[in-house]
Amino acid sequence: MASSALTLSTPTAYFAPPRSEASVASSLFKSLKPPPFWPWQSQKKVKMGPLSVSPMGFGTWAWGNQLLWGYRESMDTDLQRVFNLAVENGVNLFDTADSYGTGRLNGQSEKLLGKFIKDLQGKEQGKDEIVIATKFAAYPWRLTPGQFVDACKASMERLQIEQIGIGQLHWSTANYAPLQEVALWDGLVAMYEKGLVRAVGVSNYGPKQLVKVHEYLTARGVPLRSAQVQFSLLSMGEDQFEIKKICDSLGIRVIAYSPLGLGMLTGKYAPSKLPQGPRSFLFRQILPGLKPLLSSLEDIAQRRRKTIPQVAINWCICKGAIPIPGVKTVEQAEENLGALGWRLSASELLQLENAAEESPKKMIQNIFQTR
């Protein structure tokens, strides 16, 4: 989620002029519109059951969140540019949730996505290929399968679509309301059988509960297609890798949220330069111990002529996950796109993972993730 501009992932990397013409070409390039597609667009999409999705999606948690991400409605025009840029460059997976948005803006993320899809001009094929993955909150008042189906229908109205790509249970209630969870699983079954969603997924499920929900849904004839979990170089604990191993064995795709550790893996922040808002408390605890990891990210980024966020996101892709970095600006979107179309080497992956192990502080896991 860095704000620095995309470096060497733009067309200049493909037709760099001789040094003597550099100044002329620089002026010319500024006046050119980027091409309608990038080289990675032609690469094979990732299969998720009946769906074909880009190797990286975009997360929209910030779209409507004033408390943590400083959202303002004046940002909507820029967010639409972000969305259009993503679609033009082959990104077709957008993750959201019915709880994204604070206060009166609850559901704002879904509403914005619905508007942006509707407003796509002359891109009917692009519209058809867009996959919306939304999450339904396990609110305490959602106690029956029917109520969960109603939540799905409400999301469809906000998104202005006739069918959701991936309908996901946002978190497990196994730790505090196990009977409610079974009703919510039945709700996933019902929305799938009614054709409201093309695929079913879960979020924030630990290894044991993931196996249970997979077995339950399979017995009902509903394939579990995705498991969304916090997964990054800051979140590579034992549980996370066990989840990945289980998913690989069961044919479930891992969707990695917070692949940049809420911004800590962007190289943008330091103990003396913290973000505003609640994130600053977490950053103050973790950033001082990240020097080994950030140094390795910077070292590889310089060698690869990439940026630190691009390397961190590419690590997730190389581990077989589908990262969904959050985006608020065109600059962030352009930079994130530079994580596609190349792969870290085995030695570079090992270097990063060793550096991550050397960092004394790790990302705090979501309190809703079960065992």
When pLDDT is averaged across residues 139-153 and rounded to a whole number, the result is 96
Distance CA 112, CA 121 (A): 16
pLDDT tier for residue 361 given thresholds of 50, 70 and 90: low
pLDDT of amino acid 28: 40
Report pLDDT digits (tens) over 224-276.
Answer: 999 999 999 998 888 889 999 999 999 999 999 999 998 999 999 888 888 88
Task: For residues 67-82, give the mean pLDDT.
Answer: 87
Q: Which residues contact 53 (CB under 8 A, 6 or more apart)?
A: 45, 46, 92, 93, 131, 322
Q: Residue 297: pLDDT above 50?
A: yes
Percent of the chain with pLDDT over 90: 67
Residue 10: what pLDDT? 36
Strand partners, 257: 230
- Calculate mean pLDDT across residues 204-230: 97
Instruction: Provide the pLDDT for residue 198.
Output: 98
What's the CA dihedral at 296, 314, 200, 49 to 10 degrees? -140
- Region 310-339: what's the mean pLDDT? 96
* pLDDT score of 33: 43
Q: What six digits make up the tokens of 14? A: 């493909």
Flag the least confident range among 124-128, 160-164, 256-260, 273-277. Answer: 124-128
Please report the pLDDT score of residue 124 as a whole number.
65
Which long-range contacts link 282-287 to residues 24+ away (Cβ below 8 Å)? 282/364, 285/361, 286/234, 286/261, 286/361, 286/362, 286/363
C-alpha distance from residue 232 to each of 59, 127, 239, 323, 365 (Å): 15, 30, 13, 9, 11
Per-residue pLDDT tens digits for 176-196 = 999 999 999 999 999 999 999
Beta carbons within 10 angstroms of residue 180's beta carbon: 19
Residue from 100, 192, 205, 269 carrying the catalytic annotation: 100
pLDDT at 72 > cutoff 70:
yes
Interatomic CA distance for residues 62 and 205, integer angstroms: 22
Annotated active-site residue 14? The verdict is no
The mean pLDDT of 62-91, rounded to a whole number, is 89
Within a 10 A sphere around the Cβ of 67, how many other Cβ atoms?
A: 10
Closest CA to 365 of 273, 242, 214: 242
Residue 66 CA from chain centroid, whole number: 19
CA distance 262 to 254: 18
Tens of pLDDT, residue by residue over 7-36, are 333 333 333 344 444 444 444 434 344 444
> What's the rounded Cα separation, in Å, for the pair 60 and 207?
26
CA 283/CA 287 separation, integer angstroms: 5
Question: Residue 227: what are its φ and ψ, rounded to 5°?
Answer: -135, 115
Instruction: Measure Cα distances from 301 to 267, 322, 348, 352 in Å.
Output: 11, 20, 10, 11
Q: How far is it, in rounded angstroms, from Cα 200 to Cα 133?
A: 9
Q: What pLDDT is stored for residue 356 in this prediction? A: 93
- Tokens 């800590």 belong to 264
Closest CA to 61 of 244, 331, 324: 324
Q: Is the pLDDT of residue 308 over 90?
A: yes
